[in-house]
Structures are given as C-alpha cells and as structure tokens.
Structure 1
C-alpha cells in the first residue's frame, strides 16, 4: 500500500476512534457517575440509605459488567438500530460502547468514593452539612484523584473496545486493522494500527496520571 493512501486511511480511522471514545466516555460518565455515587451512599446506614434499591441497582450493574463486550454488541443490535437507524458504522458503535461504559464507571466511582475517610463525613455532619453538600463538597472533592484515575482507566478500556467493534463494522482503527491488515494480508497496516493504539493509550494514561497527581493533596504537600 502506498504511504499516502495508508496515511489517509489511518487519519480517518483515528478520527473515528477518537469520536467513539469521546462520545461513549462522556455519555457513560454522565450516567455512570451518579449511579456510582448512589451505590456508595445508599447502603444501610449511609447518607441516602435505601438498601433494597441499592441491591437492585447493584445487580443490574453487575449483570451488565459480566456480559462480554462482543456479545453485548450483537445482543443489542435491535436497540442500536432503533436509536441510530443502523447497526454498523461509527455512530452505531457508540451505543454499545456507552452501555458497556456505564456499569464500568459506576463501580469505579463507587470504589473511589468508598476510599474517602469516614471521619471527614462525620465532621461535615457535625458542622450541619446536608447529605447533598457532603456528597459534592466532601466525597467528590476528596475522591477527585481516584475518580480521575477511574476515568482514565475507562478511556483506556474504551480504546480497546473501540478496536473490538471494528470486527462488526464499527469503523475506527480496529476496522482498518481487520479489513486491510488481516483480510487483505497487509502486515504493515496491522503493525501501524497497533503502534498508533499503543501511543494513544500511553498518551491518555500519562495525561490521567498527571491530573491525578495534581488533584492529590498528599502529593502537593510533599
């Protein structure tokens, strides 16, 4: 393949991958973050105690998380077609990517919030803070480094998932690697796709680690 043609295909595929990762990451976080906060604060004796609802939501989240991604993509094709009008292409791929992201983000956010010192919550309660104020000004503020790392891990996972949807016509770098690198026996294309994916993951991980260190009060004190 001519270098110019490979470059054009690579730029188009990279743009499609960035679109899928950005859209699914944003939508998944918008839904998953409040679910994660609810899971972390709704158990028995917590700020918004609702143990029955907590268990139901937890079961749904676990069910979605335990479904292999490639099976999820195929299983929700009718829903994807209903939402986007098609089951192939970059826009269609955002639907299963978002659905898989929501429970992933929810559990990571829950874990990050549960790491916050309980003493801070009790101190806020003693000062008369409302449950909503405790969530926004204590839990989310103190868990910011953990949340940043959680979202970084989410984006890294989404990059991998976005490559996977290439196997079912989702577009992006995965589609480029499969159609040209595998089906047309062009190892140079496959190698280029792998290198670009590695660089992309490293860039996202480095940026996330940097932000997490900036948000971490302990690292600033040191």
Structure 2
C-alpha cells in the first residue's frame, strides 16, 4: 500500500513539475513576444520622430525660401518703382512745347532739374533748360527777358522767382534763328519737397504740372 501511495506521489510531483515547466516556458514566450512588440513600437516611434524632424526641417527650408523670394521680389518691385518714378520725372522730347509772343516763337523745355544751392547746403534751386526757335520771318523788334520768368506751385499758387544773374541774357526775337534752335535757361528758387511746378514765361502759354527731376 505504501508503495502505491509513493508511486502516486511521484507521479503527481512529475506532473506538477511538467506543468510548472510548461508554465515557465509560456511565460518566457509571452515576455519575449511583449519585448518584440515593445521594440517594434519603439522603432516605429523613432521612425515617426525622424520623419517628423525631416518634415519640420523641410518646412523651415520652405519658409526660408519663401522669405528670400519675398525679399527679392520686394527689392525688385522697389527698384522698378524707383526707376519708374525717376523716368516719370524726366521730361521727354516734345512733352512740353509752347508758343509765345503772338506765336512768333516756339519754346520747348528740355530739363527741369533740382540742384544744390551754390551759396548754401540746401537743394532749393531748380534749373530750367530750354530751347527757343523763331517761327516767323523777322518783323517787329520784340525782346525776351527770361529773368522775368516764374515758377508756381500748382496746389498752393505760391510763386517762385528767378535767381538774380542766373538766366540767359536779354534776347531780341529777330536775333533768334528761324531754321534751328537756340539754347536758354534760368534758375528758380524752389523749396525742397516740391516735385511739380507750373512754369510761367512772359507772353508765353503756361507750362503746367512740370515734374522736377533730381
């Protein structure tokens, strides 16, 4: 009887040992599977992080390129605008032509340019350069005195006078050529900041809204 019980005890112990070993094996496999899954998750997270970093870097480069393009475009537009303004202030040939002294002469403005006052550091002097031509045969003796010319503010009607001894000398119309142009000029004292003026020459149609170049 004791041998029978001893055999049963041994059998049960073997079964328990087998069950314990199988359980330990299953636990080890489960832990291995969990470790693999964790590694996979970690690798995916690392990959996602790397991809996100690449996306961030790419986005930053795109923004930098946008900023560069925007800056270049702004500079180009500013350059075009400045050039356009400069061109708009330059008198074109034939743009300002008037007849005067009972249609005996023709006057064409060639340039109206602001310069620095030689007597000061201010740029309050405007030099008006023109050319004059007699368009009728010689006749009654008429004279042109450009020192009586004036500038006028088209917005305020303020008058700007010529500077003494800064104009073409007294000229008789009969002395002007009929088949060619003669050059003439006068200086006006115009405050800085004034970019457009009317030019009034005695017995001549007014030159309106003449731009001042610099």
Q: Give the structure with higher Rg (CA).
A: 2
Same topology, TM > 0.5: no
- Using the size of structure 2 for normalisation, the TM-score is 0.28
- Using the size of structure 1 for normalisation, the TM-score is 0.27
Structure with larger RCO (C-alpha < 8 A, sep 6+): 1
Structure with bigger helix share is 1
Structure with bigger strand share is 2
